[in-house]
């Protein structure tokens, strides 16, 4: 077939080129390549519609909930109950935080002002049955006042805001100023509000699983041995043993070179190393103070041998410091308290540092003291866990038989009941019932029953906790707390 040649004029060729270029400019490359399906275009249009159009019903519900919270907070400002006011304001701020943190910060500040007023007037619960002054004092001593309640919520949301509140607690009390002027050693139970509450809040963050934030909050308050600092480190070790041991090593170094360190400092340090959750100190008059067993693991921690050796080096150096004259001994333990601490820790020194133990015995001889103090059950509580309940009862009965008055006998029974309850021995209830004085008997029995509640919670026995909450001789607040903890243990089960 012959080839046909078509001739195109110059004008026609230019027109075809213009049309081709116009098509290239108007139509995008994908369109030229392939036309999308109708289903694809509809899906994309529906997706854009869902993104651009929020659910009006959900927005209305959210706005209504926010307005209810703000209204509740405004109403709380007029409450006459000085304890309820800051708690409602703080919880309202906590709920509002994600929705409106500007308003939430303002509510937190109002809550703090209300808490300061409530604590200043020494009113923590204003109801028909106002608590006695002793209950208020105990609540203050444990750091569980209104300001703590506000700070524990604020710290979870905004560190800067909580630091603002902490800054308002840094003024030293008149007692601390007088102690500093007199050269008197600081009592490891009587830290400032700022220190105790900082560590209390850090402990709460730790319990909530915010380990890093808890360590940041506690860092500024871990420079002295106290019931709060040691308690925090013991709880931290259950979460991060390496970090806790490092901070304990730093605390040992500070205590060694601190001239105010005394026998109670060593006793406090021993709590972390050997009796976590149990902290005991002794007074110059032979009295003692201790904490009930805490929820941390009470078994002695498996510390590195080098750290254990370091504890006995520091503890021995502090205990073997030259004795000041009796009239110039301003330590928190005094001569009598120092003797009690040495008697308590001597079996540990015999086992781990026998050479230091020999020197401690020589100083014990120089201290002298009332030999009856050696019968104090706190000298072995927590350290000799292998002692059976029968042995403890036998020792108690021997002491009771030698008691000269009913009051002395009651004190022996009370100490034995407390010691047995701390070990979870059910015989503590029978011993507490032997106390003649009704008021003391009631208080000891409440302690015993509450200690069993704490033990059942540590063992995660919800049914036993609920049973003790119902039948135990507890205060109203203790009973309510026991039921709440039992419910918490059951939260993963059918409601």
What's the pLDDT tens digit per position in 105-118?
A: 898 888 888 888 88
Q: Which residues have C-beta within 8 Å of that of residue 152, sequence separation ≥ 6?
A: 200, 201, 204
Which is more confident, 139 or 55? Answer: 55
Q: Alpha-carbon distance 415 to 404, whole Å?
A: 17
Q: Alpha-carbon distance 468 to 261, whole Å?
A: 41
Q: Alpha-carbon distance 77 to 107, whole Å?
A: 10
Polymer length of the chain: 495
Angle at Cα 38 formed by Cα 37 and Cα 43, nearest 5°?
100
Q: Alpha-carbon distance 129 to 135, whole Å?
A: 12
Q: Alpha-carbon distance 263 to 479, whole Å?
A: 37
Q: Which residues have C-beta within 8 Å of that of residue 140, sequence separation ≥ 6?
A: 119
Buried b (16+ CB within 10 A) or exposed e, 369-391: eeeebeebbbbbbbbeeeeebee
pLDDT class for 25, splitting at 50, 70, 90?
very low
Q: What is the pLDDT of residue 26?
A: 45
- For the chain, what percent of residues have pLDDT higher than 90? 16
Taking only the tens place, the pLDDT of each residue in 452-472 is 888 888 788 888 889 988 988
Q: What is the pLDDT of residue 27?
A: 47
What average pLDDT score do residues 176-204 get? 66
Mean pLDDT rounded to a whole number for the chain = 77
Taking only the tens place, the pLDDT of each residue in 130-160 is 555 444 444 444 445 788 888 888 888 888 8
Q: Alpha-carbon distance 98 to 87, whole Å?
A: 19
Other CB atoms within 10 A of residue 6 CB: 4
For residues 473 and 442, the answer to whether their CB atoms sit within 8 Å is yes
Beta-bridge partners for 288: 282
Q: Is the pLDDT of residue 233 over 90?
A: yes
Q: What is the pLDDT of residue 49?
A: 52
pTM of the model: 0.60
Strands 280-282 and 288-290: antiparallel
Label each residue of the chain as H, E or C: CCCCCCCCCHHHHHHHHHHHHHHHHHCCHHHHHCCCCHHHHHHHHHHHHHHHCCCHHHHHHHHHHHHHHHHHHHHHCCCCCCCHHHHHHHHHHHHHCCCCHHHHHHHHHHHHHHHHHHHHCCCCCCCCCCCCHHHHHHHHHCCCCHHHHHHHHHHHHCHHHHHHHHHCCCCCCHHHHHHHHHCCCCCCCCCCHHHHHHHHHHHHHHHCCCHHHHHHHHHHHCCCCCHHHHHHHHHHHHHCHHHHHHHHHHHHHHHHHCCCCCHHHHHHHHHHHHCCCCCEEECCCCCEEECCCCCCCCCCCCCCHHHHHHHHHHHHHHHCCCCCCHHHCCCCCHHHHHHHHHHHHHHHHHHHCHHHHHHHHHHHHHHCCCHHHHHCHHHCCCCCCCCCHHHHHHHHHHHHHHCCCHHHHHHHHHHHHHHHHHCCCCHHHHHHCCCCCHHHHHHHHHHHHHHHHHHHHHCCCHHHHHHHHHHCCCCHHHHHHHHHHHHHHCCCCCC
Q: Is the pLDDT of residue 377 over 90?
A: no
Say what angle helices 84-96 and 56-76 make with each other, to 10 degrees: 160
Q: What is the pLDDT of residue 265?
A: 94
Q: Is the pLDDT of residue 382 over 90?
A: no
User: CA–CA distance from 37 to each of 34, 44, 157 (Å)?
Assistant: 9, 11, 50
What average pLDDT score do residues 72-98 get? 86
Q: What is the pLDDT of residue 383?
A: 66
């Amino acid at each position: 077939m012959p080839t046909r040649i078509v001739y195109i004029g110059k004008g026609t060729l230019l027109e075809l080129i213009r049309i081709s270029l116009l098509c290239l400019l108007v139509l995008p490359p994908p369109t030229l390549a392939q036309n999308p399906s109708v289903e694809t275009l509809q899906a994309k249009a529906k997706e854009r519609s869902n993104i651009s159009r929020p659910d009006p019903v959900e927005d209305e519900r959210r706005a209504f909930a926010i307005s209810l919270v703000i209204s509740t907070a405004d109403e709380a400002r007029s409450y006459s109950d000085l304890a309820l006011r800051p708690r409602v304001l703080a919880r309202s701020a906590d709920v509002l935080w994600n929705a409106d943190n500007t308003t939430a910060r303002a509510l937190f500040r109002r809550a703090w002002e209300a808490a300061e007023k409530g604590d200043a007037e020494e009113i923590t619960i204003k109801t028909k049955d106002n608590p006695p002054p002793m209950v208020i004092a105990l609540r203050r001593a444990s750091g569980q006042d209104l300001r703590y309640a506000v700070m524990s919520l604020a710290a979870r949301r905004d560190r800067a805001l909580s630091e603002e509140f902490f800054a308002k607690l840094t003024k030293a009390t008149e007692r601390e100023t007088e102690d500093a002027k007199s050269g008197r050693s600081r009592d490891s139970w009587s830290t400032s509000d700022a220190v105790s509450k900082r560590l209390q809040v850090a402990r709460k963050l730790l319990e909530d699983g915010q380990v890093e934030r808890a360590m940041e909050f506690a860092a500024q308050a871990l420079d002295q041995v106290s019931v709060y600092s040691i308690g925090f480190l013991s709880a931290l070790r259950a979460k991060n043993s390496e970090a806790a041991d490092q901070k304990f090593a730093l605390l040992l170094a500070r205590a060694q070179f601190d001239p105010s360190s005394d026998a109670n400092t060593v006793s406090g340090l021993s709590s972390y190393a050997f009796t976590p959750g149990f902290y005991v100190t002794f007074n110059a008059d032979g009295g003692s103070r201790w904490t009930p067993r805490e929820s941390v693991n009470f078994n002695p921690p498996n510390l590195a041998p080098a750290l254990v050796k370091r504890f006995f080096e520091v503890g021995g150096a502090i205990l073997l410091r030259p004795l000041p004259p009796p009239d110039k001994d301003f330590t928190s333990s005094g001569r009598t308290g120092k003797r009690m601490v040495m008697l308590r820790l001597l079996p540990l020194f015999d086992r781990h540092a026998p050479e230091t133990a020999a020197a401690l015995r020589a100083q014990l001889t120089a201290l002298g003291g009332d030999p009856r103090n050696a019968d104090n059950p706190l000298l072995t509580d927590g350290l000799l866990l292998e002692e059976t309940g029968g042995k403890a009862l036998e020792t108690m009965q021997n002491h009771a038989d030698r008691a000269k008055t009913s009051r002395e006998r009651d004190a022996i029974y009370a100490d034995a009941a407390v010691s047995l309850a701390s070990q979870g021995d059910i015989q503590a209830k029978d011993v507490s019932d032997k106390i003649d004085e009704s008021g003391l008997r009631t208080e000891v029995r409440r302690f015993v029953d509450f200690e069993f509640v704490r033990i059942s919670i540590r063992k995660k026995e919800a049914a036993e906790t609920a049973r003790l909450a119902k039948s135990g001789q507890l205060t109203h607040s203790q009973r309510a707390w026991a039921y709440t903890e039992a419910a918490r243990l059951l939260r993963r089960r059918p409601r």
